[in-house]
Amino acid sequence: TNKVFIPEVFFTNDCLTGEDVVKSTRVLGDLDGVFQDKEAYGKMNKEQAVYHVSSYLPVLENTPGGLFMGITTLYPGKVGQEYFMTKGHFHSNSDRAEFYWGVEGEGFLILMDERRNVWAERMFPGSLHYIPGKVAHRVANTGYQKLVFSACWPSDAGHDYATIADAGFARRLVDVNGVPTLV
């Protein structure tokens, strides 16, 4: 049996050979415009890794009825007072839902509906988060160690990054006297 190791998961089924695992890294330079404090961002090393994603894509993108799985490792850090976070996105097929679950470390899942209402759920090892359709999602690492979480989403969900790139989230998770606070 093939055993393929991607960060914290062993695939032991013969169907899951790992050949369909796509790995990507986001460095600070890929996150231009994401953080509020431009001055702090400007002084930081743009080669610094913020997160890695290993995605397991057993069917072609856009296939109806399939599922994708991914593991994200988000490093600890801040840009000014704002925690390192993922870009965040809506799904292109906007009603597609997703599960996230915490594997290692601490942070928050930040959610925003189409009316721009924002709320957050604490992530920790074993936490489970259902992200309904039409809800944008991003994750912030509020701890001092890496935050690892997994995701499972429909293979025809797609990613709409443009809406967030244009308008952002209506609230940001920042360190206010050591307390993660949505502002």
Decide whether 40 or 53 has the Cβ nearer to ligand S6P.
53
Task: Note whether 102 binds ligand S6P by CB under 6 A.
Answer: no
Side by side, the strands of the sheet bearing 21-27 are 21-27, 49-56, 67-74, 147-154, 98-104, 128-131
On the CB side of 145, how many CA atoms lie within 13 Å of its CA? Answer: 8
Q: Exposure string (b/e) for 133-167, b if CB count within 10 Å is 16 or more?
A: eebbbbbbbbbeebbbbbbebbbbbbeeeeebeee
**Collapsing DSSP states into helix, strand and coil, what is residue 28?**
helix
Task: Note whether 105 binds ligand S6P by CB under 6 A.
Answer: no
Mark residues 42-81: x for contact with Zn ion by CB under 5 A, - for none: ----------------------------------------
Interface residue with ligand S6P, options 41, 56, 72, 106 (CB under 6 A): 72
By a kind-dependent CB cut-off of 5 to 8 A, residue 87 interacts, out of Zn ion, ligand S6P, none, with ligand S6P
Contact in structure between 90 and 74 (CB atoms under 8 Å): no
By a kind-dependent CB cut-off of 5 to 8 A, residue 28 interacts, out of ligand S6P, Zn ion, none, with none
Contact region for ligand S6P (CB under 6 A) — 7-15, 39-47, 87-95, 171-179? 87-95
Binding site for Zn ion (CB under 5 A): 98
